[in-house]
Amino acid sequence: MKKLLDLSIPNEGLTLQNLIDDCAQTLKYQVRTGHPHFMNQLSCGLDLVSMAGEWLTATANTNMFTYEIAPVFILMESVVLSKMREIIGWRGGDSILAPGGSISNLYAFLAARHHMFPQYKEKGQSCLSGQLVMFTSDQCHYSVKSCAAVCGLGTDNCVEVPSDERGRMIPRELERLIVERKSKGQIPFFVNCTSGTTVLGAFDPINDIADICEKYKLWLHIDAAWGGGLLLSKKYRHPRLSGIERADSVTWNPHKLMGTLLQCSTIHFKIDGLLLSCNQMSADYLFMQDKLYDVQYDTGDKVIQCGRHNDIFKLWIQFRAKGLIGFEKHMDHLMEMAEYLVERINQTSDKFYLILEPELVNVCFWYIPKRLRSMPHGPQRIQELGKVCPILKGKMMEAGTLMVGYQPDDKRPNFFRSIYSSAAVNKGDVDFMLSEMDRLGQDL
């Protein structure tokens, strides 16, 4: 790739024609993430309305820290975020857009720590008599553990709770670990419950976890960055997300299931005012109180960024285009495509092995090349199937016809995880995926 492209920075500027060639070349060699045969990440597809929204956003090129330079966009944030909180099941509360789910989870962590230990902002760990500890399942997104590193707890104080065979946190294990840490004089304060794990698409049991959080007075954060989109579907919301309204905070990324352009991540709080008191630094030069408008619309002091990209317009215009009903159909369609894939895998069980019945659009499976089809399924075949994954993925990339991701987990070697989050995927694409994997992989 380095040899194919001239990416150098010239001394003298290039001509317009050169720049157009640069653009054409870039698009030619870039991966077509908008194509329905791109099933590699949680964010697939290209929603054209959202894309047009991003073009307008670029043209308006403003910053979201104060109302005075982004009045329309700030009001849009207010409308969209309060609708999202209503969908979660709250009245009131507060929310903000963040550059990705990891930073959204970080905001939840910071708000929880600030709410429970208000002196921490000024004094740090020295205001407490014991070590703070947080809990999350061993299947959670890695950003949760990263919070512990960034915020000074240390990753040793982010306790991993075991999950069941479907990848869901085991509530009695959570309770056992809370009691264990408390008995050491440590201070449990935060539980992360994942709604839609990254690899298996599992939903931790919210109500059981919420009961434990209430019992021990812990902050309940729900990382629904991935699964949150299902809140828009009457059919699929329950039981997966039942109890979400009991959380103190919820991460929900429209740039995943909802197909909003990258990046668009939201974090919601049940309590209003916390985001501001937690992150406020009261910079005199931005957040003056003597302005000629209601300064509660200056959202910049609620975040740890200063300048903040406008991530709302592309989501707002998408809500206008689809409406709530359109988004519900979109969610139902994605789930139906995953169900269809499962059906097809089960129909061709000589070539494909379904690892578990999915709760979300993550479908985890092995592809079985000819030489392994007659081998009985067991540890030996699983080892071999794991070795097939990187080679078959490499073949897909060389052919340029398909991208499906693979990874190992704590229970298995490499396996494929396909994702349907592009609204453009139809049954033909599902069939293509299977036949193309078979075409490329049968002799491996």
> Of the two residues 55 and 370, which places its CB atom closer to a copy of itself in the complex?
55
DSSP-derived 3-state class of residue 24: helix
For the chain, the helix, strand and coil percentages under 3-state DSSP, each to the nearest 5 = 45, 15, 40
158 DSSP β-pair partners: 134
C-beta closer to a copy of itself: residue 49 or 444: 49
**Closest CB 36 distance from a copy of itself, rounded Å:** 14
In the bound complex, what is the minimum distance in angstroms from residue 420's beta carbon to a copy of itself? 17
CA distance 188 to 131: 8
| C-beta pairs of 377-386 under 8 Å, 24+ apart in sequence | 377/353, 382/412, 382/413, 383/413, 385/353, 385/413, 385/414, 385/415, 386/412, 386/413, 386/414, 386/415
CB of 381 to a copy of itself, least distance (A): 19
Q: Which is nearer to a copy of itself, 230 or 317 (CB)?
A: 317
Give the CA distances from residue 169 to residues 138, 165, 196, 202, 213, in Å, rounded to whole numbers and listed in that order. Answer: 8, 10, 12, 9, 14
Instruction: State in angstroms the smallest separation of the CB of 376 from a copy of itself.
Output: 26
Residue 100 region by backbone torsions, left for phi larger than 0, else alpha for psi between -120 and 50, else beta: left
Concatenating the DSSP letter of every residue in 273-323 gives: SHHHHHH----TTT--S--SS-GGG-GGGGSS-SS----SHHHHHHHHHHH
- Helix, strand or coil for residue 114? helix
Shorter beta-carbon distance to a copy of itself: residue 127 or 343: 127
Nearest residue (CB) to a copy of itself, 277 versus 435:
277
> Among residues 177 and 212, whose Cβ is nearest to a copy of itself?
177
How far apart are CB 21 and a copy of itself at their closest, in Å? 10
Instruction: Please report how close the Cβ of residue 430 comes to a copy of itself at its closest, in angstroms.
Output: 21
Please say which residue, 297 or 432, places its beta carbon nearer to a copy of itself: 297
Query: What is the closest distance, in whole angstroms, from the C-beta atom of residue 118 to a copy of itself in the complex?
Result: 12
The least distance separating a copy of itself from the CB of residue 90, rounded to whole angstroms, comes to: 16
Residue 239 vs 307, nearer CB to a copy of itself: 307
Q: Which two tokens stand for residue 350?
A: 């000589």
Residue 73: partners with Cβ closer than 8 Å, 6 or more residues away: 60, 62, 64, 310, 312, 313
Give the angle subtended at the CA of 256 by the CAs of 90 and 407, to the nearest 5°. 125
Task: Output the smallest distance, CB 216 to a copy of itself, in A.
Answer: 21
User: Smaller CB distance to a copy of itself: residue 63 or 401?
Assistant: 63
Residue of 111, 280, 98, 251 lying closest to 189 (CA atoms): 111
CA dihedral (318, 321, 324, 327) positive or negative: negative
